[in-house]
Amino acid sequence: MSDVGKNIIRARENGAKVVGCFPLYPPLELLHSFGLIPLVLWDLKEQVHTLKESDRHLQPFTCSVARRITEFVLSTEGSLFDGFLMYNACDTLRNMPEIITRGLEERGLSRPFLKFHVPMTPARQTDSTGYFAGRIRELIIEIENAFGVRFSSERFLASVRLYNAIKKLSLEMENLVAEGRMSYGDFSLLIGKGFFMTPEDYLSALDGAAEKAKSNPAKNISGGRKIIVSGILPPPDALCSIIENAGLRVVGNDVASQARSYAYVPREVGDPVSYYTDFYRNHHPCTTLLYSSDERLTLLTGLIEKKNAQGLIFIGEKFCEYEYLEMPFIMKTLKQKYIAMLQLEIATDDHEHVEAFRTRIEAFSELIG
């Protein structure tokens, strides 16, 4: 059994109900405030090694993220979840609740599946504040009914503080990586594991790692080979090693499961409507939050400037049209600003086969050095 499965069993033994959530930015604080353990189902490459079940339901030209979520949820470990929550994102994920619900029914299982709608129109174009407030209030009632629990503003505020502490510590650790006190590979591994831990355990793991990193000396990077990494998923672990062994320093990232998830720390309030209005409206731009995509280029160029980076490595998720639709324009703009960019593509089976990228990464390192 994977670590995720063991964590779910441990949480359930302690009387908690575990809710599998996707895509990346669900209302975790709200679920947690009800005493539930929300786990974000993302980057499941360590947990999913075959795609037999998923291939029965999804076309092989869907991204690895969707295929692995489906496979995991319909596996023995997936049956341990007490419920699921999904909000709207890309077309690939759109029918996942139905696919998963039918797949569970085939196994004689029935689980509450909460669906939450985040308006994707820019605030300056359409004011959806009232609609969104209604959806949050409905979601609270749905959670209460599905799990027999009651909302508490005090508990919500405590959960907000816990998740914000995780975000702040993640930002601090990103700086420790930039200073060379910790490798990006170790940082990426830890952030990835955090998705499948309780927030309390995750905060404690981050705290321990940050303290250890602070005791390491800062290391200068020769030739100014500082880069930003971007993508829906982080580089596979073996690719992180290749990047760092090529003499490159990851001084910042725009990875969906990393900075895009923790970079914006919302105001700490006990009212979920105010909190999530701020959370989604001011979120770090992401291709999956359509209303924020206009801000992405400004953010990327600002990040490159702020971190004094010389280049950007884009880890393309094969078949993710959202990311690929934006890339040509981003590449063109970075080129005009004389910022070097390397575009790599990772498909479902590529995680173990990244050696083919070594020469390109080494050449890129020489180029920007």
Stretch touching ligand SF4 by CB under 6 A, among 86-94, 186-194, 269-277, 298-306 = 86-94
Site string for ligand SF4, 49-78 (x = CB under 6 A): --------------x-xx------------
What is the enclosing helix (H) or strand (E) of 253?
strand 249-255
β-bridge mates for residue 343, sequence order: 314
Q: Nearest approach, Cβ of 63 to ligand SF4 (angstroms)?
A: 3
Task: Tell me whether residue 44 or residue 304 sits nearer to ligand SF4 (CB atom).
Answer: 44
Site string for ligand SF4, 153-192 (x = CB under 6 A): ----------------------------------------
Q: Nearest approach, Cβ of 91 to ligand SF4 (angstroms)?
A: 7
The full DSSP string for 277-338 is HHHHHTPPP-TTSGGGHHHHHHHHHHHHHHTT-SEEEEEEETT-HHHHHHHHHHHHHHHHTT
Residues 273/277/280/284 CA torsion (nearest 10 deg): -130
Going across the sheet that includes 83-87, the strands are 36-40, 17-22, 83-87, 113-116
First-to-last C-alpha distance (Å) of the chain: 44
Chosen residue from 18, 136, 320, 346 binding ligand SF4 by CB under 6 A: 320
Q: Nearest approach, Cβ of 69 to ligand SF4 (angstroms)?
A: 8
What residues between 87 and 146 interact with ligand SF4 by CB under 6 A? 89-90, 92-93
Q: Which residues of 243-257 are buried (b: 16+ CB within 10 A; e: fewer)?
A: bbebbbbbbbbbbbb
β-bridge mates for residue 39, sequence order: 20
Using CB under 6 A, count the residues that bind ligand SF4: 13
The bridge status of strand 226-231 relative to strand 17-22 is: unpaired
What residues between 258 and 297 interact with ligand SF4 by CB under 6 A? 288
Two tokens, residue 19: 């809710």
Q: Nearest approach, Cβ of 286 to ligand SF4 (angstroms)?
A: 9
Q: What is the DSSP letter of 113?
A: E
Task: Tell me whether residue 198 or residue 292 sits nearer to ligand SF4 (CB atom).
Answer: 292
Chosen residue from 25, 184, 314, 322 binding ligand SF4 by CB under 6 A: 322
Task: Tell me whether residue 91 or residue 154 sits nearer to ligand SF4 (CB atom).
Answer: 91
CA–CA separation, 270 vs 153, rounded Å?
5
CA–CA separation, 81 vs 124, rounded Å?
39
Chosen residue from 317, 334, 346, 368 binding ligand SF4 by CB under 6 A: 317
154 CB neighbour count, 10 Å cutoff: 9
Task: Name the amino acid, one letter, at 341.
Answer: M
- 40 sits near ligand SF4 (criterion: CB under 6 A): no
What residues between 4 and 33 interact with ligand SF4 by CB under 6 A? 23
Task: Tell me whether residue 109 or residue 325 sits nearer to ligand SF4 (CB atom).
Answer: 325
For residue 142, give the nearest of 119, 184, 114 by alpha carbon. Answer: 114
Task: Name the amino acid, one letter, at 150.
Answer: R
Task: Tell me whether residue 92 or residue 310 sits nearer to ligand SF4 (CB atom).
Answer: 92
Site string for ligand SF4, 190-209 (x = CB under 6 A): --------------------
CA–CA separation, 328 vs 271, rounded Å?
40
Q: Where do contacts with ligand SF4 occur on this chain (CB under 6 A)?
A: 23, 63, 65-66, 89-90, 92-93, 232, 288, 317, 320, 322
